[in-house]
Structure formats: C-alpha cells, structure tokens
A and B are shown apart, each in its own frame.
Chain A
Amino acid sequence: MRPSIAARVAQTIWTVLAYAFLLAPILVLILASFNDAKFFRFPPQSFSLHWYEAAAASGEYRSALASSSIIALIAGTLSILVGSLAAFALVRFDMPGKRWIEAILLAPLVLPLIVWAIALLQIYAWLGMSGTLVGLVLAHAVITVPYTVRIMVSTFERIDPVLESAAASLGATPFAVARRVIIPLAMPGLVTSAAFSLLISFNDVIVSSLIAGARWITFPVRLYAQLRSEGVDPITLAIGATIIAVILIAAIVGEYALKWSRHL
C-alpha cells in the first residue's frame, strides 16, 4: 500500500515553498541589480544594465575584489595542498590517536568562528601581523582546510588502494604513482575542494571583518562596513548578483559533473 497521494502533494508544495524562501534573497538580489533607479522598489518600474556598467567602471570596488581574489587563491591553494595530504594519510594509514587528529582538523567546522576571530585579532596585534596578507591567508586557509579534508577523505575512500600498489609493483616511483594514478583519480574531489575553498574564502566576512586592516580590504569586508554606515550602494548589488550567479552555476554544474552532494 502506498502513502496517500494527498500527503505526497502536500509535501511537494511545502518543499517548493521552502526552496522559494531559501532562494528568495538570492533571486531578489539578482532582480534588484537590474533595477534602473537608485532605490529598489517592488515591482520595479524599469530595468537597465546601468549598475553593471557602473560596477565595471568603478576602481573603488576593483581593488577590493582583487584583494578577495588574491587571498582566496593563495589560501585555497594552501588548503588543497595541506588538506589533501592529511586526508590521504587519514584514509591510507592506521595510526594511534586518529580520532583526535580528525577532531583537530575538523574543529573550525564546529567551533564558532566569531569567538576564534576575537582571539586572533588580539594575537595578530601582539605579533604585529594585523591586517597583513600572511595573517589573512593563514586565517582563510584554516577555515577552508576542514572542507578539503572532508571532501578528500570521501574521495580517497572511493579509490582502490590496489591501483597504487599495482603501479608501484610495476616499478613506478612514489612520485610517479601520485602524479599518474592518484591525482588523476582524485581530480573530481580536488576540483570540488578547490571550488569550496575559493568560495568560502572569497565570501568570508565573519573572520575577515575582525582581522582586516586598512591595506587588505576584501569585498565582503568593504560591503559590510558600508551597510553599517551608509546603506546600500546599487553598484554592490550588481557585483553581489554576479558573485551569487557564479555560485548558483557552480553548484548546478558541480552537482551534475562532479556529484557534489555525495561529499556531504
């Protein structure tokens, strides 16, 4: 006997409404960015690409976006290098205290980041690292490493270790095994880790807004300071909508090409 059709329909309508609410701010952001007037009101009177043109012409936001990109690229690279090595060791080797090592590596997912950032702010000031690129990159690497570790652990668990020992027994050096066997097989996981690390670093505001100095101001930090003091600048809607659109496309492509949801 099947559960009643009515219950199934109700559940589907509920889910559609929940997704509408979940995605509402994202879709509204995109809608508002095409609004012609300086202040958005619904329903919009006329649409234009005005704010996108203004965004492209504005040097003001370009430097913030450049800071975000540089930090995300370096921190993301660090996260993938360090996180994949650790994940490989966790999957392939037995060791004492494995649970503790895992707990240390995944701690930034569990403990509140604002609490940590309050401490980091003080330590960076004490070490004279306030507002430096190194300080920001280290902080961003720390918050992205747990994502890489989780994604790469589930990736390496799916790769048969026999392939590695077979290549080794045929005379491949450990370096050749890594380059010719492990890395190609782990590529979907590596790409997924890279996407997560880049996006999380690029969009972080919680940690960055506390430790950013005057020199390295990322786009979210700038936007947050602006929202606190002056209110919404429509140019930021155009930039924000572009970032959100990239995330939406990445999520859909990532799901269909790389099965992102399997890594959760």
Chain B
Amino acid sequence: MNSSNPSSKAALFLLPAVLLSAVVFLLPFVWLVYTSFKTQGSGSLLLADGLTLKNYGRLLDDLYFVQAFGRTVWMSALATLLCLVIGLPVARLIATWSGRAKGLLLALMLVPLVSGALLPSLGMIHFLGPLGVVNGTLKMFGLIDTSIKFLGTTTGVILGMVQAFLPLMVLPLVNTLSRMPRDVEAAANSLGAAPVRVWLRVILPLAMPGIIAGSVLVFCAAFTSFVTPQVLGQGKIATFGTVAYQQAALVLDWPFASTLAVVVLVAIGLLLILTAQFNRLIARKRRIAS
C-alpha cells in the first residue's frame, strides 16, 4: 500500500487511539451484559454454566436495591435542579462579561473537574462537619447552639454533588449563552419587558439546548457517583454508586455488580434517547416559529 495515500495515512494515525478506545473501553460493556446473565459459585469468582435471569430477579425482589435506586434518582434530580438554579445567572454573567476576568472565571470552573472526586470531598468534610467552617461560623454569630448535621445525611451528599458537578452545568450554558445575540435582551428591555419576563420569555428559551445538555451531564454524573455519597454520606446513604462499588469491590459478587451496571446503562441510554427526541421537538418548534 502507498503510504502517501491520504486515506491509508489517516487510518494509520487513527488506529492506535480507536483500538485503545474500542478494545479497552467499549468491549468491556459487552462483557458486562454477558456476565449480568451469569452467576458465580459461592466463595468463588468462577462463573457458573448457563445463562439465568436470577440477578435481575434479585434486583427487583430486594427492597434495599429498589430503594437505593429511588433515592439516587431523587437526589440526583434535586442536585441537577440546584445546579441549574445556581448556574444559570453565573453562566449568563460569564457569557456577557467582556473583561479579562472571563477567562479566569472559566479556568476556576475547571478546577473541580480535574481535581478528581476525592480531594473536594476531603475539603467538604471540613466545610460541613460538626466542627467545620459552616457550623463554626453559625455558632460564632450565635445563630445555632448545636451543630447542624450535614455529614451522614442526604443534605450533605446533595451539597457535595452540587459542588462537584456545578461546572458540568455552567460550561454548556456558557457555550449556548455566548452564541445568543447580545441585543435580544436590550430589545426586550427597551420594549418595556420586566426583568423576570425577559428571563422567562427570552433568555430561558434561547438557553434551552444548554440547559438540557448541562442537566443530562449533571444528572448522569450525580447518579453514577460513588465517592461523594460514600465520603459525605459516611456509609449511611446507600445510592446506586455506593451499592455497585460494594458489590464489585467488597462483596465480590461480580455478576450481580454487572447487573446493577447494565440497569443503569439502560436507564441512561433511555434518558439520552428522550433528550434527543426533546431536542428535535424544540428545533422543529423553533423552525415553525421563525
């Protein structure tokens, strides 16, 4: 084959990365589906012969897992909503900022993303703990006598999720809002629209693609996180992540861990399909409107 042929050159350049991603990343998902229909002998990691639906039955039968799933859904949904409410004005400010500080604001948003899940949680323990910064400050001003319990509660875990995943909401929002024409808001203002009306009728509809993208990212990240719920929940809050980690790393029931993983994968897949449909609907509506 001629090496100066562009298509063979492209294939050569792409091959290592595609191979790495396909073999080490995508192939294991196939294994996951396969082992979710297997069982292993007691006290051994060897897979038993034959395929079975036993793991899926166990998942539905055991209230502990059903409750953990339910808890993870509402906690992640609440964290997503909080990220949206906190993030929208922030993203709007960054998107419309013309000064030098804009880059710095974006760079600071990257810090939690590259810090991993653990170090922010380690800081959160001292921020929210019974002798931590929040409780210490409230006591200093005489607002409370006994510490508010954040660690080991769902409140603490949700606060941790919001802190960890806020950038996943803000960055797509900044992207969408930066592309919004600057003068729409001024136009709405000059026509006498109240600020609340401008937000509801102009900014929110135009930001919708960013809102959807950010919400999906935050929800999926919160739903599958296990370090934040484990560390800030102090082992008392069972979520999908902590349960899956337990089964895979401590109980060593790998086929059952696979089943948990497959269920979440299917749920996330459905969520993505729904979002794509919703996006298409919005795009069509907008085409008709214009």
**Which of A46-54, A55-63, A235-243 is the contact stretch?**
A235-243
Q: When the two chains form their complex, are residues B116 and A264 in contact, meaning their CB atoms are under 8 A apart?
A: no
A163 within 8 A of B: no
Contact of A82 with B86 at beta-carbon distance under 8 Å, contacts A42-B133, A119-B31, A264-B171 already known: no
Binary interface profile of A, 99-132, with partner B (CB < 8 Å = 1, else 0)?
A: 0010011011001111111111111010000000
B186 contacts partner chain A, Cβ-Cβ < 8 Å:
yes
Q: What chain A residues lie within 8 Å of B117 (beta carbons)?
A: 205-206
State the Cβ distance, B147 to closest chain A Cβ, in Å: 11
Q: Binary interface profile of A, 19-42, with partner B (CB < 8 Å = 1, else 0)?
A: 101111111110110000001111
Instruction: Tell me if B35 is interfacial: C-beta within 8 Å of chain A.
Output: yes
Whether B108 and A22, one on each chain, are in contact in the complex, defined by CB atoms closer than 8 angstroms, is yes
B32 partner residues in chain A, CB cutoff 8 A = 115, 118-119
| Known contacts A86-B17, A203-B119; A107/B114 CB under 8 A | no
A125 to B240, CA, bound (A): 23
CB distance from A153 to the nearest CB of B (A): 12
For window 185-199 of A, CB contacts with B under 8 Å fall at 196, 199
Instruction: Assess whether A15 is interfacial by the CB under 8 Å rule.
Output: yes
Interface residue from A1, A27, A105, A248 paired with B186 (Cβ < 8 Å): A1
How far, in angstroms, from A28 to B135 measured CA to CA in the complex? Answer: 13
Are B20 and A14 interface neighbours, CB within 8 A?
A: no
Q: Is A184 an interface residue (CB 8 A)?
A: no
- Contact status B185-A3, CB under 8 Å: yes
Please report the number of residue pairs spanning A and B whose Cβ atoms sit closer than 8 angstroms.
Answer: 296
Known A-B contacts A95-B7, A240-B119; the reply to A26 vs B29 at CB < 8 A is no
**Chain A, 198-219, contact with B by CB distance < 8 Å: what is the 0/1 string?**
0110111110011000000000
Cα distance A228–B125 when bound, in Å?
Answer: 13
A7 contacts the other chain (CB 8 A): yes
Whether A142 is near chain B, meaning CB under 8 Å from some CB there, is: yes
State whether B107 touches A14 (Cβ < 8 A): no
Q: Contact mask B166-186 → A, CB, 8 Å, 1/0? A: 110001000100000000011
Establish whether residues B125 and A89, one from each chain, have CB atoms under 8 Å apart when the complex forms: no
Given contacts A93-B10, A112-B268, contact A122 B31 (CB under 8 A): yes
Q: How distant is the Cα of A18 from the Cα of B10 in the complex, in angstroms?
A: 45
Could you say which of A23, A114, A223 has the most chain B C-beta atoms within 10 Å of its C-beta?
A114
> Is A166 interfacial (CB-CB < 8 Å)?
no
Which of B18, B121, B260 is in CB contact (< 8 Å) with A104?
B18
Q: How far is the CA of A101 from the CA of B257 in the complex (A)?
A: 30
Chain B: which residue is nearest A78 at the CB level?
B20
Question: Is B16 engaged at the interface, CB distance under 8 Å to the other chain?
Answer: yes
Instruction: Output the nearest chain A residue to B175 by Cβ-Cβ distance.
Output: A264
Q: Is the CB of B127 within 8 A of A24?
A: yes
Q: Which residue of B lies closest to A206 (CB)?
A: B117
Q: Are B28 and A116 in contact (CB-based, < 8 A)?
A: yes
Does A4 touch B at the CB level, under 8 Å? yes
A24 touching B133 by the CB < 8 A rule? yes
- Total number of B residues with any Cβ neighbor in A under 8 Å: 97
Q: Contact mask B112-150 → A, CB, 8 Å, 1/0?
A: 101111111111111101011101110010000000000
What's the Cα separation between A15 and B260 when bound, in Å? 38
Instruction: Tell me if A171 counts as interface (CB < 8 A to partner B).
Output: no
Of B58-66, B226-234, B280-288, the one touching chain A: B226-234
Can you list 26 A-B contacts with CB-CB less than 8 angstroms, sorted by A residue number? A2-B186, A3-B189, A18-B86, A22-B109, A40-B131, A85-B16, A104-B22, A112-B268, A115-B224, A115-B244, A116-B25, A138-B20, A139-B24, A142-B24, A205-B116, A209-B245, A210-B248, A220-B119, A224-B118, A227-B231, A243-B115, A244-B115, A251-B111, A261-B102, A261-B106, A264-B110
In the A-B complex, list the 7 residue pairs whose CB atoms are closest, starting with the nearest. A203-B116, A25-B123, A42-B136, A119-B28, A29-B123, A261-B106, A255-B107
- Residues of chain B whose beta carbon lies under 8 Å from any beta carbon of chain A: 6-7, 9-11, 13-14, 16-18, 20-22, 24-29, 31-32, 35, 45, 86-87, 89-90, 92-94, 102-112, 114-127, 129, 131-133, 135-137, 140, 162-163, 166-167, 171, 175, 185-186, 189-190, 195, 198, 220, 223-227, 230-231, 235, 241, 244-245, 248-249, 254, 257-258, 260-261, 264-265, 268
17 more CB-based (< 8 A) A-B contacts, given A138-B24, A254-B107 = A2-B186, A14-B86, A19-B90, A40-B129, A41-B131, A43-B136, A85-B16, A104-B18, A112-B265, A118-B248, A119-B31, A142-B20, A145-B20, A210-B248, A220-B118, A227-B122, A236-B122
